[in-house]
Amino acid sequence: MPSRQTVQDFITTVEQGRYVEAIEQFYAPDASMQENSQPPRRGRDTLVAYERAVIAACSAMRTLPVKSFLVDGDFVVIHWVFEFTRTSGNIMRIDELAHQRWEGEKIVEERFFYDPVAALAD
């Protein structure tokens, strides 16, 4: 079960735009991430590679300050809002909930819930 402080530290790292560092520091080596009902990506190295590809595809990324998160035992829910500036200059905004399962102080499973149409808008 993560401490609230560990979850807050994770959130702060993401809010500061240190996305790859957040994965390297807070995810277990065998962690998985899943977008809505898509197949999950597995393994921290895979998660880092995917995140780097997302960052490379954007001219800018920004995380708005988190206003709420819940910790219930091994489970955490975070309400994220991300803004991605595409190389075309268009801004895509994703408002999502991340449902996480932690083992100790590391995330082992994460699933994102958001409107997939918003992710396709350009």
User: pLDDT truncated to tens, each residue of the chain (122 aa)?
Assistant: 999 999 999 999 999 999 999 999 999 999 999 999 999 999 999 999 999 999 999 999 999 999 999 999 999 999 999 999 988 888 999 999 999 999 999 999 999 999 988 766 55
Integer Cα distance of 95 and 83 in angstroms: 9
CA dist 26 to 31, 49, 61, 106, Å? 10, 16, 20, 5
Integer Cα distance of 37 and 23 in angstroms: 21
Task: Tell me what pLDDT residue 27 has.
Answer: 99
Task: Tell me what pLDDT residue 116 has.
Answer: 83
Task: Tell me what pLDDT residue 95 has.
Answer: 96
Phi, psi (degrees; rounded to nearest 5) at 3 = -80, 155
pTM of the predicted structure, to 2 decimals: 0.93
Task: Tell me what pLDDT residue 121 has.
Answer: 59
Class of domain 4-120 as given by CATH: alpha beta
